[in-house]
Amino acid sequence: MAETPLVRAAGLGKSFRGRRSTTQAIADIGFEQAPGEFLGVVGPSGCGKTTLLRCLAGLERPDTGTVEFDGRPVTGIPDAVSVVFQDYHRSLFPWLTAGENVRFPIRDRGRAAGREQAREALDRVGLAGFADHHPFQLSGGMQQRVAIARAIVSRPRFLLMDEPFASVDAQTRAVLEQLTVTITAELGLTVLLITHDIDEAILMADRVLVLSARPSRVLREVPIDLDRPRDEVETRALPLFQDYRREIHRVIANPGTAD
């Protein structure tokens, strides 16, 4: 990688000690991510993807290894890092309206400025007229849009997303995937998207990190050389897309033969 990486993880390992047994979630994960790069992370469910994200966000301390953000070791939650959690419907503040949820990260910026920036963020996700709605009045897809608006309103440099579209219908999902790619590209955001959906990773990412089953390690890094913008239907039909798809499926199915 020519550029200095924005994110660097090396030798990450993480176990959870239970009362009876210990679960090793991550065996050994290391990677680098360049500024502005869109990295997809795929792996079977339960392999430690969420745990990895939590280590990267400073929410969890790895047992071994280090995470560096912008050249500095991550010990707490860095200011310039934002997260969209898997359970967006549980992570929106139900007592606040959509507009107030989006204003939450920027409450220090003064009333007028905060309102304006929140309005702009809601605009970006296509929810211009919904600032006064409470989360329960919005559909799942709209709630996820609010979560995305809230995650980008403070102009973070690194956005972590944990299976953000896992619980919306296929139609909404395709729309939200496009929306996320467009917005993060416009803002020049560095994004790490966790998903168990290989197609989604190929459609959205510049590079895909393939993780093994638990305890996870990196099986392969697959750079995705597909032109952008990537129309969902057209891109899926490309032979190159099919090749990536086949490669990643094979790596996951036969981890032993990787490399």
Partner 1 sequence: MKGLAGFAALVGLWELLRSAHVLPPGSAPASVDIARALGNPDLPGATAGTLIAWAAGLLLAASIGIPLGVLLGLSRWVDAALTATVDFLRPIPAVALIPVAVVVIGLGAGMQALLVGFACLWPLLISTRFGVRDVDPLLTETGRVLGARGLRLAATVTVPAALPSIRTGLRTAASLGLVVAVATELATGSPGLGWFIAQQQQAGQIPAAYAGIVVAGLLGYLVHLVTS
Ligand X SMILES: Nc1ncnc2c1ncn2[C@@H]1O[C@H](COP(=O)(O)OP(=O)(O)O)[C@@H](O)[C@H]1O
C-beta of 157 vs 214, nearer to ligand X: 214
Binding segment for partner 1 (CB under 8 A), chosen from 78-86, 131-139, 164-172, 244-252, is 78-86
Burial, 22: exposed, middle or buried (Cβ in 10 Å; 0-12, 13-18, 19+)? exposed
Q: Does 5 bind ligand X (CB under 6 A)?
A: no
189 Cα distance to chain centroid: 11
Pick from partner 1, ligand X, Mg ion, none: which does 25 bind, CB < 5 to 8 A by kind?
A: ligand X
Q: Does 83 bind partner 1 (CB under 8 A)?
A: yes
Q: Does 4 bind ligand X (CB under 6 A)?
A: no
Pick from ligand X, partner 1, Mg ion, none: which does 51 bind, CB < 5 to 8 A by kind?
A: ligand X
Write the binding mask 48 to 67 for ligand X: x where contact by CB under 6 A, - elsewhere: xxxx----------------
The residue within the footprint of ligand X, chosen from 11, 30, 46, 188 (CB under 6 A), is 46
Q: Does 16 bind partner 1 (CB under 8 A)?
A: no
CA nearest to 177, candidates 129, 227, 233, 139 = 233
Binding segment for partner 1 (CB under 8 A), chosen from 66-74, 101-109, 112-120, 248-256, is 101-109
Q: Does 91 bind partner 1 (CB under 8 A)?
A: yes
The residues in 143-162 that bind partner 1, with binding defined as CB under 8 A, are 150, 154
**What does the chain look like in DSSP terms, one character per residue?**
--SPPSEEEEEEEEEEE-SS-EEEEEEEEEEEE-TT-EEEEE--TTSSHHHHHHHHTTSS--SEEEEEETTEE-SS--TTEEEE-S-HHHHS-TTS-HHHHHHGGGGGG-HHHHHHHHHHHHHHTT-GGGTT--GGGS-HHHHHHHHHHHHHTT--SEEEEESTTTTS-HHHHHHHHHHHHHHHHHTT-EEEEEES-HHHHHHH-SEEEEEPSSSEEEEEEEE----SS--HHHHHHSHHHHHHHHHHHHHHH-GGG--
Smallest distance from ligand X to CB 213, Å: 9
Q: Which amino acid is at 55?
A: C
C-beta of 88 vs 244, nearer to partner 1: 88
Q: Does 167 bind partner 1 (CB under 8 A)?
A: no
Q: Which amino acid is at 42?
A: V
Q: Could you list the residues that contact Mg ion (CB under 5 A)? A: 50
Smallest distance from ligand X to CB 195, Å: 10
Binding site residues, ligand X, CB under 6 A: 16, 23, 25, 43, 45-51, 214
Binding site residues, partner 1, CB under 8 A: 57, 59, 77, 79, 81-83, 85, 87, 90-91, 93, 95-96, 104-105, 107, 150, 154
